[in-house]
Amino acid sequence: MTTKIVQKIRKGIRFYHPDHLGSTTVVTDLDGEVTQNAAYIPYGEVFVEQRNGTWNTPYLFNAKELDEETGLYYYGARYLDPTGTRWLSVDPLFEKYVGMTPYGYCAGNPVKLVDPDGENIVICDGDEFFIYDPNSSNSYNGNSEVIKNCVAVLDDMYSTKSGSKVLNVLISSSTEHKIKSTGDAYSKGYAVTIGNEVDFGGAFELRSFSHELFHQYQKDKGQGEATYFNEIEAYYFEKQVVTEYNDNLDWDNPNVYSLVRQYSSFDSSRLTNDAPQGKEYEEAAKNIFINGAFNKNNFDKAVNLFKDNSHANSNGLYNKPYYKVKTGNEKYLLESLFGK
């Protein structure tokens, strides 16, 4: 490679320095010299921009591409007009935001929030909401304890290999998934999933989040409804996430035991007199995977014996008439997630 070619390549290298919204504020070259800097009005209109040459980046507000001919930013799902402070088309999820204009950007709060493409996990607390995206530089800086606690648990879940797989699917889904915490769920003593909303009722636990969000994952994959099949999958996933999280802890830390998370004991039977096939259930539930390979026979056996033998049903939660064994739309999602 000639010296001229190397110099040409070096001259074309640029480094972007974003703010908390991902917006490009400073661009530098390989030598650290500032080649471009920009500041914005809240909705993305360029307030001031300086360059030291003819080259400039089109990726500005939220790191989205600015079309110089139209003055619009392209977000993937629609275009943002920074001068008019609105979207050019209706929010595809507008029915979920009753009382808000379907053309409004980030509920009128563009200084704190980012709408990457209209596909997201949303944490709600009353009228306040926060779009969760661990891949974004955007962080929650509000006063809601509910949102703070939800973000903390989601971050723990995302720190695991299994948890990040499922959360990334939900984040990129065309369906919006909402998380909230109200007294209604708290009074029932367990998390409640209705449609694409999960109410944790103050139970900010890794096991509850993993379990209920896996149900959202199942729905996203076309495997919804209340079935023992789906419960076994969700309980196994919950156990996997919590195990991975605990394994990642620093066990040389004397305070490590305060950080350990617990999971539900779905793979143990109740008392012998209450579980006529308890040992058979235990054997099947604990051997859903054998040497890393998914065992369909053991899984199906655990599903069929779940209601009358699993410790997870010791309070009769799964005796309700709307629970079924299967529906016929099952895809065995655990095999694709964890199998060899």
Between CA 184 and CA 276 the distance in angstroms is 35
Region 256-278: what's the mean pLDDT?
78
DSSP string, 117-172: SS--EEEEETTEEEEE-TTSS----SS-HHHHHHHHHHHHHHTSHHHHHHHHHHHT
Banded pLDDT at 278 (limits 50, 70, 90): confident
DSSP string, 23-89: -EEEEEETTS-EEEEEEE-TTS-EEEEEESSS---SB-GGGPEEETTTTEEE-SSSEEETTTTEESS
Does position 282 have pLDDT exceeding 70, yes or no? yes
pLDDT given at position 32: 85
187-238 pLDDT tens trace: 444 566 666 778 887 778 999 999 999 999 998 898 988 999 999 999 999 9
pLDDT given at position 6: 52
For 125, list phi and psi in degrees, rounded to 5. Answer: -145, 95
Average pLDDT, the chain: 83
Q: Angle, to 10 degrees, between the axis of helix 161-171 and the axis of helix 206-220?
A: 50
Between CA 82 and CA 184 the distance in angstroms is 40
137-189 pLDDT tens trace: 778 888 888 889 999 999 999 999 999 999 998 888 877 788 887 765 444 44
Yes or no: say if 8 and 16 are a contact pair by the CB < 8 Å rule. Answer: no
DSSP string, 229-266: HHHHHHHHHHHHHHHHHHHTS-TTSTTGGGT------T
For residue 323, which of 331, 314, 313, 332 has the smallest C-alpha distance?
313
Tell me which of 184 and 249 has the higher pLDDT. Answer: 249
The two beta strands, 177-180 and 121-125, are: parallel
Tell me which of 331 and 174 has the higher pLDDT. Answer: 331
Length of the chain: 340
Using alpha carbons only, what angle is made at residue 94 by residues 92 and 96, rounded to the nearest 5 degrees?
115
Torsion angle in degrees (nearest 10) through CA of 21, 88, 132, 24? -20
pLDDT given at position 247: 94
The label of the residue with tokens 């939900």 reads 170
Question: 191-199: long-range contacts (C-beta < 8 A, 24 or more apart)?
Answer: none
219-230 pLDDT tens trace: 889 898 899 999
- The model carries a pTM of 0.66
Banded pLDDT at 264 (limits 50, 70, 90): confident
Half-sphere exposure of 124 (CA within 13 A, CB side): 17
